[in-house]
Amino acid sequence: MSDRPINDSPITEDIVYACTCDFAGKTRGKGFPARDLEKRVHRGIGWAPTNTQITCFDAIAPSPFGALGDRVLIPDPATRVTLRALDQGLAEDFVLGDLYDTDGQPWALCPRGILKAALARLERVAGLSLVASFEHEFQFRDCGMGPGTGYALQGFRPHRVFAERLVGAMRAAGLEPDTIMKEYGADQFEVTMDPAPGLAAADRAVILRQLVHAVAESCGQAATFTPLQDPAGIGNGVHVHFSFRDAAGAPATYDPQGTHRLSAAAASFAAGVLAHVDAIMALMAPSVVSYGRLTPHRWSAAFNNLGVQDREASLRICPVSALSDIDTARQFNLEFRAADATASPYLQLAALVHAGCQGIEDGLSAPQATEEDLADLSPEALAARGLRRLPTSLPQALALFADSALVKDWFGAEFVTVYRLHKQGEIDHVADMTPAEMHRAYAMVY
Ligand code: GLU
Ligand code: MG
């Protein structure tokens, strides 16, 4: 018998999980007692470099690091999400962070560090900061709500409890919810949030995906962000809205005199994105099933085109409304549509910013906007206007990515080599699956 006093208070202790959002777009990390957060912000937690090669299926792609080496994950306390609503089956406590070498230098393969470097480049080349918001679509898995529910209150109703919990969780996590709806596709929802400065916008995208899963589970449901659950059905996109602010914080995307009302910097940025989009698609839409979504007539994106309010354009100039209380310059934003939630938001935004910065550095002029169905044009007619079909498979996108001298320059040769190995490992993993097995496998992990 111990002589310790008997104490009937609960013996549970809060744990915070410190995470990175990695090459697989997975939010992975390690937990520690929440009371140690302050210490961990300085000391970090150990991280094996080979963890970066854990694919979305948990297979380990070939790793140049093997069993060797260590990195340190330093939590950024500004990103911490603490939600305790145990009566609703919700308990989340996590924090996002950056990976460093043990000598204290940012690790060349840290996705969040890579985004910070890209945003610094934008500041350097154009004196601009980026404001962004990730718009997410997802579906409930194995739900089978049936037809007649596209945008319908009838389709929203069975998920109202989920939606209200999600909006509450977003608010509690500082995500500034904007809209939530039953989207057009089967069992599909969309959720949007207010724009935030670049790094915070990517953090929010990471957090949002976790909240959707957590809240769905708390409602006894399962959600998936897979880009394509059913090849014959509707895809789940991520549309990255973005605009610029100048050094004084004033909107810098809109110029009523500019082509398509774009400021000179925004026009060059857009031209850079479209000129280099093929080389970054392996980061924007990085799974094997991503490319079934990126086909014409799906309201996703299939060509490297700019569209004014065109939902089939890779880059869309979004509408502004005279009815809004927000002034035009502040409303005005562009949207990159050829992205999905199998990617790390950090790498997506970094790729977008690097391609755009290239356009600014190279002084590219505003792209022409397309107005017709590009699927009707021959490759020659497209080429005459500088238009191309986006890569049609992950292997093709990966080859364009790895062969690009610019991408190596932006991300570093080591990143390109290791990322390619990772994605090749994923391609090999699904190679022997039937299409149905493969779509199911992605739906289960995202
Ligand atoms: N589901 C479409 C996509 O895959 C987007 C539909 C829309 O919201 O415009 O991107
Ligand atoms: Mg949508």
The yes-or-no verdict on residue 240 having pLDDT over 70 is yes
Average predicted confidence (pLDDT) for the chain = 96
Q: What letter does residue 262 receive in the DSSP assignment?
A: B
What average pLDDT does this structure show over 237-250?
98
Asked if residue 235 has its Cβ within 6 Å of ligand 1, the reply is: yes
Asked if residue 299 has its Cβ within 6 Å of ligand 1, the reply is: yes
User: Which atom of ligand 1 is closest in space to residue 183's alpha carbon?
Assistant: 8
pLDDT value for 143: 87
The yes-or-no verdict on residue 369 having pLDDT over 60 is yes
Residue predicted with more confidence, 89 or 415: 415
pLDDT value for 10: 74
Domain ranges of the chain: 111-436
Q: Distance from the CA of 303 to the center of ligand 2, in angstroms?
A: 19
Residues 302, 163: contact at Cβ < 8 Å? no
Q: What fold does the segment set 111-436 form as a domain?
A: Creatine Kinase; Chain A, domain 2 (3.30.590)
State the Cα–Cα distance between residues 63 and 71, nearest whole angstrom. Answer: 15
Confidence bin at 5 (pLDDT 50/70/90) = low
Looking up tokens 């059913």 gives 230
In tens, the pLDDT along 187-214 reads 999 999 999 999 999 999 999 999 999 9
Ligand 1, from 137, 151, 236, 309: best to mutate by most atoms within 8 Å of Cβ? 137
pLDDT value for 134: 98
Instruction: Report the candidate in 195, 206, 183 with the shortest Cα–Cα distance to residue 311.
Output: 183
Asked if residue 237 has its Cβ within 6 Å of ligand 1, the reply is: yes
The yes-or-no verdict on residue 2 having pLDDT over 60 is no
The yes-or-no verdict on residue 116 having pLDDT over 70 is yes
What is the pairing mode between strands 188-193 and 45-47? Answer: unpaired
Confidence bin at 3 (pLDDT 50/70/90) = low
In tens, the pLDDT along 298-344 reads 999 999 999 988 899 999 999 999 999 999 999 999 999 999 999 99
What average pLDDT does this structure show over 93-111?
97
Q: Distance from the CA of 119 to the center of ligand 2, in angstroms?
A: 27
**Nearest-10 Cα torsion for 291, 297, 303, 307:** -130
State the Cα–Cα distance between residues 375 and 295, nearest whole angstrom. Answer: 9
2-11, 194-203, 228-237: segment of lowest average pLDDT: 2-11
The yes-or-no verdict on residue 22 having pLDDT over 60 is yes
